Structure 1
Amino acid sequence: MKPKLEYDAAADAAYIRFSTEPVRETEEVAKGIMLDYDRDGRIVGLEVLNANTNLPAAALEDAA
């Protein structure tokens, strides 16, 4: 699967999905950065809070 970026402007949160597998566990790896894992421990997605601060504006515009 090609990674897909979604952006919620109201929450200022971005999600990059790497897989269609269901999320089994979420781990905060840094302040405002969460990794989602499937049942086999593979990364399914990455959530970034305060996305306007942490990601390029052009990427967020394309995802909105």
Structure 2
Amino acid sequence: MAACFEGEGYIVKVTYDFETEILPILLSESDIEESYQDRPGVIIDYDRDGNVVGIEILHASKRVENSRGLEHT
């Protein structure tokens, strides 16, 4: 499953891999300089200037009450 939203000066790309249960959210096309696990299963990606460029949610289906009800608008 994938969704991509673009607007003036920003991009948000959300994909979900049902096999690995990883939900990556891309906020920028900048290169990732470092990643930090903010809390178990939530990884924040930063560019070289310290800006958040992505978020990865591991085991995503276990982090929402009704994962089958997820949809994008």
Structure-1-length-normalised TM-score: 0.84
Q: Gaps spanning 5+ residues in structure 1: where?
A: none
CA RMSD of aligned residues (A): 1.4
Q: Gaps spanning 5+ residues in structure 2: where?
A: 1-9
Any residues of structure 2 matched to 1:1-64 within 5 Å, and which?
1-55=10-64, 57=67, 58-59=70-71
Counting matched residue pairs gives 60
CA drift at 1:47: 0.2
What is the alpha-carbon distance in structure 2 between the residues aligned to residue 44 and residue 2 of structure 1? 10
Structure having greater relative contact order (Cα 8 Å, sep ≥ 6): 1
CA drift at 1:3: 1.3
Name the % identity: 30
* Larger fraction in helix: 1
Structure-2-length-normalised TM-score: 0.74
